[in-house]
Structure 1
Amino acid sequence: MNMPWNRLDADLFERAQALLDEEWLARDADLAPLLPVVLERGVGQDWHKAGTFRHHLAGVARSLALWRQPRDIRLLGLLHSVYGNAFVDLVKFDAGSERGRMQALIGEAAEHLVYLFCTMSRTQFVQKLLAGELAADGSMTLHRNGPEPRQTITLTPYEVAAFAIVSMADSMEQWFSWQEDIYSRFPHVDGTRQQSVHWAASLWPGPMRPSSRMLGQIAGLGLALQHPGLREQLPLPPVFGHCSQALDAGAEAAAVALYWSVVQLDQPLVDADAAIATLEQAVRLNPWVGEPQMVLAQLYLGAGRDAEAALAAESALQCFSAWGNAWDKRVQWDAWIAWTRILLQSAREGSWPQRLDKLNNIALKQ
């Protein structure tokens, strides 16, 4: 059966390469002036899901930069939680007294997006967007956070599109098995589960398995951008066929289980045939993330199947370049890309080491 390999977009890969080192933010003329202001609030010391709050804010902004979003949207990505929100109790700027300072720093239009994103009901926003509850022009009416009676607000089509795209990047950057367990079935969270009963699910960071259901939700947010009132508002992210494809929930869950069975060495170890077949099926079920394809490329190389390894590695690079964040969060996005480039180089040269110790010596040839 043919594999759903992705072709590497040279322009997208070049944009991704420019964002690989941590200094990319300091080189961004729009975002760099905000760094000292944000860092002085201690974001590099705050815990946040799979890293620190700084890692999270920078990771969201990185995806938005990769997706060629305009200045105000990239600023929103970097600052999307600084006034706090219903999900995290991390208030870095007081919305009651510091909005003027933020407006002076980034402009009133960008600050308005940040304030609105932090204070609206993001749970209700995701619920409505996934359900297609939009007006004919793409606008949306929902509530602000806070006690009842909550204020009703109406988002413009531009704001809906902006918040959908930032939500896609936000979810991809942070979601993995620990968050999936404690925040199960978001945006319809079951609030009855007690930590004392489900203590095993609460132990951070847990096994760090990729999420079994969030990627399909991100695809749903992307599909919502095909609404006639939203489609032309902002550049469509280059994921899920530029937001044109869904990911079936059953296929996503099965693909994660198959991938995890291989990386946890639950497949026969003497020969790689079973592991290769398992990963091939995972990729067929979910061709939108790079990690299963990257591991498959390495198994192909070990089996002497260089041509197939090159196709898998190139396809994995395309996925990594499209997301700007890792799906499997055991290592960071730039590390996944670095190893995948080694695999692609080795596949093209037919030079994969035959001895275990030589794996420690391989390097990318510039």
Structure 2
Amino acid sequence: MGIHENGKTPHENGKVSYDARLEYARLFIRDSLEEIDPELPGFLRKLQDVGASECWHKHGTFYEHLFNVYRNLKLWNAADAVARCGLFHSAYSNSYVNLAIFAPNTDRQVVRDLIGPEAEELVHWFCIVPRQQVVFDMLLFKFTDEQLLQRLKDVRESSDLATSQPLVPPGGFTVSNIRTGEDLQVPRNLIAIFLILTMADAIDQYYGWQDDLFDNRDGESSFSGDQWTALWPGDGRPGRWASSISRMGVLLNILLHEEAAYKEREEREGRGEAWKSRLFAGIPVAVPPIFESCTVIVSPADQVEAVRLYWQAFPLDAKGKPQSAATLKPLLRQVSQLNPHFAEPHVALTQVLLGEGEYEEAEKEIAQGLKLLMEWGTQWDKRMSWEGWISWARVLQLNAKQKTWTRSAWGINSLGRNLKLDTIRFYRSTRAVTYSSTTYGAKPVKNSVGEWLTVHLRGPFIDCGFIEWIDLESDSVKRPRNFWMV
């Protein structure tokens, strides 16, 4: 299953609405695994059985990483074979990591029976092709940002330009199998699949610690540094990888246009069936929605400055107090000007705006933040999970819409948001009760013995209020007590 809208399959949709992305994202947030793929629970059990959840991986476990890559791909409308490959992408180990949880010489049939022959074949190729050579040395490092953007403009305007001097020749690239040394012919569509897999793989695992390891102070992601004594997990700041991934996205977009142009030409000249018989030619590849559908490149300098400024927003000031709104608003706005493609600066700015009572501006900011979270399928600021960022953003969005914000530490600590309910219905009481809340302005509601008490709130679902127990005969308060909605 993928994101569907207006009865179309994911690959027929040029763009998917925020509401459609949210509904699909909810399947992941609520662990509705069978609705995503009926076989997904079995895949995950197998990964746990072979020890993936016991293996360290960058900022968590290998199991978490594999699932997150799968989630990224599904939220990008990847074909099932590509998404399943993402879930098992390093299962035989690959050119970057030695994390084989299946033996490539003996377990291929096991994996094939589990995820299907097409997905397993992708996993196999992903684990034998030298991706650093194909993606970086043969493509990304050969072109400037300006050359990539100009090429994208050309191939979008003309199919003739797309087939003239392609970045990848019609026959693909010839590279050596990393295990056997034999020649491999890697076709263009497979390189495109490798690109989207590499993008989904990288954005989940990279954060500030790798910048320290490889001395990525310039944001070029050249992996030329070797600071192997950098302590894990670092200080938790976001990584400087936006420029590299945005370049991959533009490259992916170019290759997909080139592939479509060649396919059209072959079909026009009567060689369509031969084209379809090529390795992996039948697997559709969707352009991820990130970086404006992979049409822009973030400069290394801009991303470095954006990370630096973003990281300035969170420490307390010299007096141990949170920084002022006057300081934070221009700071966070500058972050989004330098790199407008990440959600977290918008989310942080929303909290500041709510505190200032700027509800309309807060609503605009959080709408953009949530849109970006849904498009990415992962978080830039990895101090909190993707699900955590979405939940917090939904709390902020509700408050912005209802033009309310608590101004107490206990109120902030107690915030919450149920994605479905804004109305609380209490169990029948053996005594009549009145509920009131000065914090969120809920109107006092009184009921009779044995009746339901329903409270309509203007604020978040979790609220600190109080219940007063009422004596029906005298209508006097018998026993007030503190109450937490949960």
Question: What TM-score comes out, normalization by structure 1 length?
Answer: 0.89
Q: 1: distance between equivalents of 2:212 and 2:34?
A: 32
1:107 CA displacement: 2.7
Residue type of the partner of 2:258?
G
Q: 1: distance between equivalents of 2:227 and 2:302?
A: 29
- Counterpart of 2:192 (choices 140, 156, 161) is 161
Match of 1:4 in 2: none
Match of 2:176 in 1: 143
- Counterpart of 1:116 (choices 116, 119, 125) is 125
Q: Deviations along 1:289-328, whole A, 9 cap, x unmatched?
A: 1011100000111111111111111100001000111111
SS across alignment from 1:142:
strand
1:219 aligns with 2:253: no
The question of whether the paired residues in 1 share the 8 Å contact of 2:367 and 2:397 is answered with yes
Residue type of the partner of 2:135?
V
The question of whether the paired residues in 2 share the 8 Å contact of 1:63 and 1:323 is answered with yes
- Counterpart of 2:22 (choices 13, 20, 34) is 13
Change (3 A) 1:175 1:339: same
- Counterpart of 1:177 (choices 208, 219, 235) is 208
Match of 1:261 in 2: 312
Q: Which moved more, 1:37-46 or 1:262-271?
A: 262-271
Match of 1:282 in 2: 335
1:82 CA displacement: 0.5
Match of 2:139 in 1: 129
Match of 1:318 in 2: 371
Q: 1: distance between equivalents of 2:367 and 2:416?
A: 17
Q: 1: distance between equivalents of 2:221 and 2:194?
A: 15
Change (3 A) 1:61 1:248: same
1:126 CA displacement: 2.3
Match of 2:233 in 1: 205
Within 5 Å, give how 1:303-314 maps onto structure 2.
303-314=356-367
Change (3 A) 1:266 1:119: farther
Structure 1 gap ranges (5+): 1-6
Question: What TM-score comes out, normalization by structure 2 length?
Answer: 0.68
Q: Which moved more, 1:75-84 or 1:157-166?
A: 157-166
The question of whether the paired residues in 1 share the 8 Å contact of 2:172 and 2:185 is answered with yes
The question of whether the paired residues in 2 share the 8 Å contact of 1:320 and 1:337 is answered with yes
1:69 aligns with 2:67: no
Who wins on radius of gyration, i.e. which is larger? Answer: 2
Change (3 A) 1:62 1:320: same
Q: 1: distance between equivalents of 2:191 and 2:345?
A: 32
Q: 2: distance between equivalents of 1:364 and 1:194?
A: 43
Q: 1: distance between equivalents of 2:323 and 2:245?
A: 38
Q: Deviations along 1:62-119, whole A, 9 cap, x unmatched?
A: 0111111111101110000010123222110111111122222223222111011012
Structure 2 gap ranges (5+): 1-15, 144-165, 262-283, 422-486
Residue type of the partner of 1:340?
A
Q: 1: distance between equivalents of 2:213 and 2:227?
A: 10
1:136 CA displacement: 3.9
Change (3 A) 1:190 1:14: same
Change (3 A) 1:123 1:264: farther
The question of whether the paired residues in 1 share the 8 Å contact of 2:214 and 2:227 is answered with no
1:257 CA displacement: 0.6
Bigger RCO (CA 8 Å, 6+ sep): 1
Change (3 A) 1:224 1:27: closer
1:25 CA displacement: 6.6
Q: Deviations along 1:18-41, whole A, 9 cap, x unmatched?
A: 221345378522433322222111
1:363 aligns with 2:373: no
Match of 2:10 in 1: none
The question of whether the paired residues in 2 share the 8 Å contact of 1:8 and 1:315 is answered with no
RMSD in angstroms over aligned alpha carbons? 2.4
Residue type of the partner of 2:344?
E
Q: Deviations along 1:221-241, whole A, 9 cap, x unmatched?
A: 110122222469411111111
Change (3 A) 1:269 1:109: closer
Q: Deviations along 1:164-216, whole A, 9 cap, x unmatched?
A: 1111110111100112222445864336x363xxx3xx21111011012x111
Match of 2:291 in 1: 240
Residue type of the partner of 2:58?
K
The question of whether the paired residues in 2 share the 8 Å contact of 1:138 and 1:230 is answered with no
- Counterpart of 1:152 (choices 164, 171, 183) is 183
SS across alignment from 2:28:
coil
1:146 CA displacement: 4.7
Q: Which moved more, 1:58-67 or 1:224-233?
A: 224-233
SS across alignment from 1:226:
helix
1:270 CA displacement: 5.7
SS across alignment from 2:382:
coil
The question of whether the paired residues in 1 share the 8 Å contact of 2:27 and 2:36 is answered with no
Change (3 A) 1:168 1:25: farther
Q: 1: distance between equivalents of 2:168 and 2:244?
A: 21
The question of whether the paired residues in 1 share the 8 Å contact of 2:313 and 2:323 is answered with no
Match of 1:229 in 2: 258
